[in-house]
C-alpha cells in the first residue's frame, strides 16, 4: 500500500481519529480531510503476542519501516464524495459516486476510548460542508452545552 504524503497545493483541513472496520477487525485509523481529497490511513494490525515473542528487535524494525508515514487504506476525491450512511451496529459507511470496481466505500466506527463518539449527523454535516467546498465548516460542528 502507498504511503501518504500531501500532493502539490494540497493542505489538511482537519483530521479525525476513528476505528477502521475491515474484514479482519478494527484498526486505529485517521481520516484526513484535505482541500482535494479524503484520505484514510492506518498502521498494520499486529498481535500483542507477536510483539511479546519477537521483542525489542521487532519494535525497532517496525519503527524503521513506518518512519515514512502511514499507509493509505482509502482515498476519494472531494468532488466524488456522495454520502455517509449508517451501517451495521454503530458503523458509519462512506461512499463515492464510482461504479463497479471504481466505487470506493469504507466503514468506520467512531467509538474510541480517548474521546466521545461522534454521531452520524455530525459526520454528515462535516462531510457535506467539506464536499461543498466550505473548508472552514469541515471541522464543524462542535457540540456546546449551554445551561438555561
Query: Which range marks the domain in which residue 81 is found?
Result: 12-139
Say if 31 falls within a structural domain. Answer: yes
Count of structural domains, the chain:
1
- Cβ–Cβ contacts within 10 Å for residue 67, how many? 8
Residue 107 main-chain phi, psi, to 5 deg: -120, 140
CB 19 within 8 Å of CB 108: yes
Say if 4 falls within a structural domain. Answer: no
The 10s digit of each residue's pLDDT in 65-115 is 554 457 888 999 999 999 999 988 778 899 999 888 888 888 888 665 445
| Domain CATH code at residue 134 | 2.30.29.30
What was the pLDDT predicted at 90? 79
Say if 144 falls within a structural domain. Answer: no
Say if 85 falls within a structural domain. Answer: yes
Beta strands in 1-148 (DSSP E): 12-22, 25-34, 37-42, 71-77, 81-86, 92-96, 105-109
Please state the pTM of the whole predicted model: 0.71
Residue owning grid cell 464536499: 131
> How deeply is 135 buried, as exposed, middle or buried, from its count of CB atoms within 10 A (0-12, 13-18, 19+)?
middle
What was the pLDDT predicted at 143? 46
Average pLDDT, the chain: 76
What does the alpha-carbon distance between residue 57 and residue 35 come to, in Å, rounded to a whole number?
39
Say if 117 falls within a structural domain. Answer: yes
Say if 146 falls within a structural domain. Answer: no
The 10s digit of each residue's pLDDT in 32-45 is 999 999 999 987 65
Amino acid at each position: 500500500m502507498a504511503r501518504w504524503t500531501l500532493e502539490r497545493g494540497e493542505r489538511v483541513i482537519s483530521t479525525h481519529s476513528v476505528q477502521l472496520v475491515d474484514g479482519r477487525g478494527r484498526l486505529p485509523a485517521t481520516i484526513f480531510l484535505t482541500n482535494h481529497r479524503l484520505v484514510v490511513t492506518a498502521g498494520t494490525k499486529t498481535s500483542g503476542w507477536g510483539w511479546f515473542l519477537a521483542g525489542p528487535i521487532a519494535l525497532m524494525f517496525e519503527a524503521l519501516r513506518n518512519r515514512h508515514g502511514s499507509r493509505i487504506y482509502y482515498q476519494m476525491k472531494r468532488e466524488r464524495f456522495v454520502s455517509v450512511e449508517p451501517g451495521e451496529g454503530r458503523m458509519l459507511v462512506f461512499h463515492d459516486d464510482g461504479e463497479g470496481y471504481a466505487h470506493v466505500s469504507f466503514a468506520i466506527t467512531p467509538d474510541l476510548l480517548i474521546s466521545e463518539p461522534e454521531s452520524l449527523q455530525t459526520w454528515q454535516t462535516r462531510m457535506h460542508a467539506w464536499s461543498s467546498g466550505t473548508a472552514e465548516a469541515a471541522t464543524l460542528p462542535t457540540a456546546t452545552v449551554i445551561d438555561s
